[in-house]
Amino acid sequence: MSTKAPSAPAQVQTSSPQWLQALLLLAPAGIWLALLLVIPTLLIFQLSLVPDIKPGDIVNPSGLDNYLRIFQPDVLKVIGRSLLFAIGTTLLCLLMGFPVAYWIALLSPKRWRNLLLLAFVLPLWTSSLLRSYAWISILRPTGVLNTLLTSLHLPTLDLLNRSPAVLIGMTYSLLPYMVLILYASLEKLDRRFLEAAADLGATPPQAFWKVTVPQTLPGIAAGSLLVFITGLGDFINPELLGGTSSMTAARLIYNQFLGATQNWGFGSALSMVLILAVSLAIALLIKYGDKNASSL
Amino acid sequence: MSQTATQNQQATDTHVGFDVELRKVFKVFNGDTVVRGVDLSIRRGEFFSILGPSGCGKTTTLRLIAGFETPSAGDVLIRGQSMLNVPPYRRPANTVFQNYALFSHLTVWENVAFGLRIKKCRKSETQERVKEALKLVKMDGFANRFPAQLSGGQQQRVALARALINRPTVVLLDEPLGALDLKLRKEMQVELSNLHQELGVTFVLVTHDQEEALSLSDRIAVMVEGKVEQIGTPSQIYDRPQTPFVADFIGDTNLFRGKIEGAHPTMLWIITDRGLKMKVQPTDASGLPLTSGAVVVSVRPEKVNVSFSPPDDAINCFEGRLKHVMYLGTHVHYVVQLRSGDQLTVRQPNALNVPDSDTPIYLHWGADDCLALPE
């Protein structure tokens, strides 16, 4: 979306009506982005350089204090946990989403495809808060899952307020996005490539690894990065399902602004790091995606 | 005729190996019978073409050989082995696909090496064979390009190299030149022919381009509506078509519907539906000598003689008026309307003065310059 902007100047040089056209077309989104993204980000950056001084402190704090605090072990641990949740969710979504997308795109009867996709998108139409609460009632010690396990004379599982619940909730929330993106990629897959691979002696598994996966790599990368980025910033699932032991970067930031430990400077610094990490991921996505597109 | 006899004998008597055999093959897609009882025996090292209009089942027939489709009935054999339970990746056949289907994520080198890498060929051998194959198709300078960076003709060459590298028993070519412009197509035809001679591998070509089939093939099977109409050498197909469809589909021809009025071992007397009386020398091209019944007389445009005064003792002579002239460079097509209402196309060298439309024009041809085909 924001990548469209740099391509505009190339057109500007050709003629002035085109220049005007580009300006008019890009202005609404540009103003929107400037007001709600660029300026707030700059404000956060400014805030992140304001040292946290509590009454009675006798120190000479520098502007970088907020950033240095990130390197304290407890904060690093929180960031690490956030990354693990995001990576774990990405892997789970990929593992579960790929077979589903593959089946819908390549094997299911054509007339069912839209219906099947709709079934997958349906959960997105409910509030994410609602979905997390639903998981609470499923996973809590006396919830649906454990009632079922007990009735089957199996040991109960204590998942709620621990990492597994967060992973389950996040995977559930983000799986539809992964399936949709992978579907779009697999649906474009030229089936003649699979025939050509078989023709040249590749067994179906070999054709899958040598043709299907590389051909859909842009989709796999796009889906994974989208899930990763969204997962990294997810607040609701860790907050509602993770309990006190599963502090994540998003929750930590929330606490700095609205929680018990009011520290806007540190919260802003953490936010900046998160924004940077996400931007890096997006840059990777663009670069990687483009490289693949040009070879198509 | 004698050529037909010896060829048939060669096929049945001497033990020439067949690389591909189709036995009473049927293919039904959702109740639609696309291939109806096709019998083919393709000899070792032969350049065999399957020729027919679009939708005649020729590509499906090729896909049945490659293994992308399984026959609804009948058997497909390669080197005498039934392929019914053999998946495409175990068949000794490699395909040059229509529009090539080169892997877009791989370079030219990787595309060609694909088959060898699947087989876990040694690195040094792979290197050597890919180099050799690229050289064979004159693409040795393009190893590191991606397919999208190649022209249609270059992609075609890479597709050929990719299909040849596994050293298949049979190479299947599905309209391989269809996407190329005329000049490039002619060039690639020559190269295909050279490659075939050089390698001695069996080629099975599917095409709707009769000129391509005639110029390249050792033998041609003409297909229509899922059936093989005729199998023969290019000259058999062109000079001795066995059915009106083949006569009409291969080259240009003038067809007259009629019936046999009288028969003699050396001559048939035919009256067309529009009342033209013709003498036609019978042929045994269709197996049984014709003696009676409905027939279609086929006269090739180049077999028709033209004169501007009534010729002496010419048989099959009809008077008409010139309707159109089609200028075709090396020659001219005249469209002549006969008094009967029939329109004939006549091919003449580009030398005559063009007659005007009022001048009577006399068309005539010998009894052995036309064919009577069973309706």
Domain containing A72 — which CATH number?
A: 1.10.3720.10
Distance CA B34, CA B226 (A): 5
Query: What is the model's pLDDT at position B15?
Result: 44
B164, B133 contact by CB (below 8 A)? yes
Neighbours of B365 (CB within 10 A): 23
Residue B168: DSSP 8-state: -
Q: What is the pLDDT of residues B347-367, one digit of tens each?
A: 988 766 677 777 888 999 999
Determine which of B59, B68, B89, B116 to mutate to test the interface with A (most A C-beta atoms within 10 Å): B89
Q: Are residues A257 and A231 in the same domain?
A: yes
User: Which two tokens mark B227?
Assistant: 């059936």
Q: How do B32-43 and B170-174 pair as beta strands?
A: unpaired
User: Which two tokens mark B238?
Assistant: 């062109």
Residue B50, Ramachandran bin (φ over 0: left; ψ between -120 and 50: alpha; else beta): beta
Q: Are residues A100 and A233 in the same domain?
A: yes
Query: What is the model's pLDDT at position A158?
Result: 86
- Region B72-87: what's the mean pLDDT? 95
Distance CA B187, CA A248 (A): 67
Query: What is the model's pLDDT at position A1?
Result: 41
Query: What is the model's pLDDT at position A85?
Result: 95
Distance CA B373, CA B298 (A): 8
- Region B156-168: what's the mean pLDDT? 94
Q: Are residues A62 and A44 in the same domain?
A: no
The residue of chain B with its CA nearest to that of A207 is B118
Q: Which of B351, B296, B350, B342 is nearest to B323 (CA)?
A: B342
Q: What is the pLDDT of residues B269-310, one digit of tens each?
A: 999 999 999 999 887 655 566 777 889 999 999 999 988 888
Q: Are residues A276 and A194 in the same domain?
A: yes
User: Which two tokens mark B136?
Assistant: 């064979």
Q: What is the pLDDT of residues A227-244, one digit of tens each?
A: 999 999 888 898 889 888
Single-letter residue type at A100: V
Total structural domains within chain A:
2
Query: Residue ranges of the alpha helices (H) in A52-141?
Result: 65-69, 73-102, 113-121, 128-139
Distance CA A247, CA B103 (A): 46
A213 touches B at CB < 8 Å = no
- Region B74-101: what's the mean pLDDT? 95
List the domain range (segments joined by +) for residue A36. Answer: 1-48
Distance CA A185, CA A179 (A): 10
Query: Is the predicted pLDDT of residue A264 greater than 80, yes or no?
Result: yes
Residues of B in contact with A294 (CB under 8 A): 148
The mean pLDDT of chain A is: 86
Q: Are residues A24 and A85 in the same domain?
A: no
Please report how many Cα atoms fall inside a 13 Å half-sphere around the Cα of residue B5, on the Cβ side. Answer: 3
B196, B203 contact by CB (below 8 A)? yes
Q: Are residues A32 and A103 in the same domain?
A: no
Residues of A in contact with B119 (CB under 8 A): 201
Shortest Cα–Cα distance, A190 to chain B (Å): 8
- Region A70-93: what's the mean pLDDT? 93
Distance CA B367, CA B268 (A): 9
Domains of chain B: 19-239 (3.40.50.300), 252-374 (2.40.50.140)
Query: Is the predicted pLDDT of residue B66 greater than 90, yes or no?
Result: yes
Q: Are residues A5 and A65 in the same domain?
A: no
List of E strands, B97-216: 170-174, 202-207
Query: Is the predicted pLDDT of residue A121 greater than 90, yes or no?
Result: no
Would you say the ipTM is above 0.95? no
Query: What is the model's pLDDT at position B312?
Result: 83
Query: What is the model's pLDDT at position B288?
Result: 61
Query: Is the predicted pLDDT of residue A260 greater than 80, yes or no?
Result: no
Q: Are residues A200 and A236 in the same domain?
A: yes
Per-residue confidence band for B7, with pLDDT thresholds at 50, 70 and 90: very low
CB within 8 A of A2, min separation 6: which ones? Answer: A33
B149, B184 contact by CB (below 8 A)? no
Q: How far is CA A125 from CA A130, A137, A168, B9, B338, in A?
A: 11, 20, 19, 74, 76
Q: Are residues A116 and A210 in the same domain?
A: yes
B153 touches A at CB < 8 Å = no
Provide the β-strand partners of residue B76: B22
Query: What is the model's pLDDT at position B349?
Result: 85
Distance CA A207, CA B192 (A): 28
Distance CA B44, CA B14 (A): 13
Is the pLDDT higher at B292 or at A223?
A223
Put simply, the answer to whether A201 touches B146 (Cβ < 8 Å) is no
Q: Are residues A81 and A104 in the same domain?
A: yes
Distance CA B94, CA B66 (A): 7
Q: Are residues A75 and A16 in the same domain?
A: no
Per-residue confidence band for B9, with pLDDT thresholds at 50, 70 and 90: very low
Q: Which of B114, B182, B111 is nearest to B153 (CA)?
A: B182
Distance CA A288, CA A220 (A): 11
Query: What is the model's pLDDT at position A100?
Result: 94
Query: Of A48, A67, A82, at which residue does a domain stop?
Result: A48
Distance CA A212, CA A207 (A): 7
Query: What is the model's pLDDT at position B49?
Result: 97
Query: What is the model's pLDDT at position A289?
Result: 58
Query: What is the model's pLDDT at position B13?
Result: 37
Q: What is the pLDDT of residues B114-140, one digit of tens each?
A: 999 999 999 999 999 999 999 999 999
Query: What is the model's pLDDT at position B5?
Result: 43
Q: Are residues A35 and A178 in the same domain?
A: no
> For the packed helices A113-121 and A163-187, what is the interaxial angle rounded to 10 degrees?
150
Query: Is the predicted pLDDT of residue A43 greater than 90, yes or no?
Result: yes
Residue with tokens 């078509």: B241
The residue of chain B with its CA nearest to that of A191 is B101
Query: What is the model's pLDDT at position A262?
Result: 82
Q: What 3-state class would DSSP assign to B107?
A: coil
Question: Distance between terminal CA atoms of chain A?
Answer: 22
